[in-house]
Structure 1
Amino acid sequence: MNSPAIRVDTSSPVPPYEQIRAQLAALITTGRLLERERLPTVRQLAADLGLAAGTVARAYRELEAASLIHTRRGAGTRVAPLPSRAPDPDPTRLTELARRFVTHARTLGAEGDAVMTAVREALEELP
């Protein structure tokens, strides 16, 4: 993983492991990180971000549970092949994700129109 940078905002109400997980998941699902591309080791990414290794390890565990990455001893952690067609999203999970986004947007002072504009722009940017 050379180009895309992961950033963690320690002042954010979103836990650092979740920020890492979400950013890597977005990079993988949008194709910016390619299948079989190697990710930094837990220790290396933790050192780069100035975080505890356990924080990065948790993000990696959650990505592995979501089948976005896989780790093999000696081969490191790599981007897993994406399924050919994603299953229909769980409406309950989708609603929970939307609630979290709105909550975080409101902590930034965003009103409804600004939140909707941000969502529309994100939808247009991502495949």
Structure 2
Amino acid sequence: MDITIDPYSPTPPYDQVRRRIATLAADGVLAAGTKLPPVRILAADLGLAANTVARAYRELEAAGLVETRGRAGTVITARATGTSVQAQAAAVAYAERTRALGIPPETALALVKAALAG
């Protein structure tokens, strides 16, 4: 799996892993049903703690992008390959940009609501 961690990025490593897996699924590189590497193996490959990768997997699961099937492993869901992932990526990019600009969350949300109504 093509994941690279930037140790100098302000984005935490777990989030870099989460975003990359979501992007790979949204782009069709990881099809629905694709089994992800076990947490410990991916962590070792990336030079990360197992808990870091486990957190990325938990957040992907909470978003409905992966499903953990116990000993059968963690797989990409059909939802991960749809537009909901693209919308989530756009939302994350917007949140990062508004945060960098120093815009309070309430104002950022108001801007989005106005744009959607518009």
User: TM-score, normalising length from structure 1?
Assistant: 0.66
2:7 is paired with a residue of what secondary structure? coil
Q: 92, 98, 122: which one pairs with 2:94?
A: 98
- Taking a change above 3 Å as real, the CA distance of residues 68 and 9 of structure 1, as seen in their structure-2 partners, is same
User: Percent identity at matched positions?
Assistant: 45
CA contact (8 A) 2:5 2:46 kept: yes
**Distance (Å, rounded) in 1 between the aligned partners of 2:80 and 2:50:** 29
**Distance (Å, rounded) in 1 between the aligned partners of 2:95 and 2:60:** 21
Gaps of 5+ in 2: 102-118
- Taking a change above 3 Å as real, the CA distance of residues 55 and 47 of structure 1, as seen in their structure-2 partners, is same
The structure where helix makes up a greater share of residues is: 2
The CA RMSD measured in Å over matched residues stands at 2.7
Gaps of 5+ in 1: 107-127
CA contact (8 A) 2:18 2:60 kept: yes
**Distance (Å, rounded) in 2 between the aligned partners of 1:44 and 1:63:** 18
2:53 aligns with 56
Q: 13, 16, 20: which one pairs with 2:13?
A: 16
- Name the structure, 1 or 2, with higher relative contact order (CA <8 Å, separation 6+): 2
Q: How does 1:70-89 map to 2 (within 5 A)?
A: 70-82=67-79, 86=83
Offset of 1:97 from its aligned partner?
3.0
1:37 aligns with 34
- AA aligned to 1:36 is G
- How many correspondences in the alignment? 98
**Distance (Å, rounded) in 2 between the aligned partners of 1:84 and 1:40:** 18
- AA aligned to 1:100 is E
- AA aligned to 1:23 is R
1:70 is paired with a residue of what secondary structure? strand
